[in-house]
Amino acid sequence: MTTLKIGNKAPVFKGLCTGKGDADLSKLKGKKVVLYFYPKDSTPGCTTEGQNFRDLHKEFMKEKVVIFGLSRESLKSHENFKTNQSFPFDLISDPEEKICKLYDVIKEKSMYGRKYMGIERSTFLIDEKGKLAHEWRKVKVKGHAQEVLDAVKSLN
């Protein structure tokens, strides 16, 4: 488990993603990065969250931001989800939870009285120098993408 602190260097990640084949934070110096973690492809909350980032994508592009969504789902599942929702950004597949653990988003959850380990909806904003500029934990989907965009704009 990594201890994240605003202003410190963000944990460097590399993972398989839709479209390009891999996402590598070390190759994104000079760009802002939004990395949002979500529990599962094609579920109501995760779909809405992705759609909200999709709908604001042009605004994020104006701010020179690269967006990645990340869950433990397979690359095939991500490709279908991305295509079905017309996401203009890539989704990272992390089935072994390597990136999830770097960002400490695997938490105990409960559904119908059953406890299990899963992704806590979280978002991280990394600045052009590779430093963690902002983090959101236990994200509520409504208004979140706009809140992230506002934080991006405040960095300028």
Mean of the per-residue pLDDT values for the chain? Answer: 93
Task: Report the CATH architecture of 14-155.
Answer: 3-Layer(aba) Sandwich (3.40)
* Residue 100 is a catalytic residue: no
Give CA–CA dist 97/104, Å, rounded: 10
pLDDT digit string, tens, across residues 117-147? 889 999 999 999 999 999 999 999 999 999 9
Give CA–CA dist 35/49, Å, rounded: 12
Determine which one of 10, 46, 65, 119 is catalytic. 46
pLDDT of residue 1: 47
Give CA–CA dist 96/51, Å, rounded: 26
pLDDT of residue 113: 85
pLDDT digit string, tens, across residues 33-48? 999 999 999 999 999 9
Q: Is the pLDDT of residue 148 over 50?
A: yes
Place of tokens 């070390």: 26
The whole-number average pLDDT for the span 43-55 is 96
pLDDT digit string, tens, across residues 62-116? 999 999 999 999 999 999 999 999 999 999 999 999 999 999 999 888 878 888 7
| Pairing of the two strands 132-136 and 122-126 | antiparallel
Instruction: Record the pTM.
Output: 0.93
- Domain range annotation of the chain: 14-155
* The one-letter amino acid at 81: F
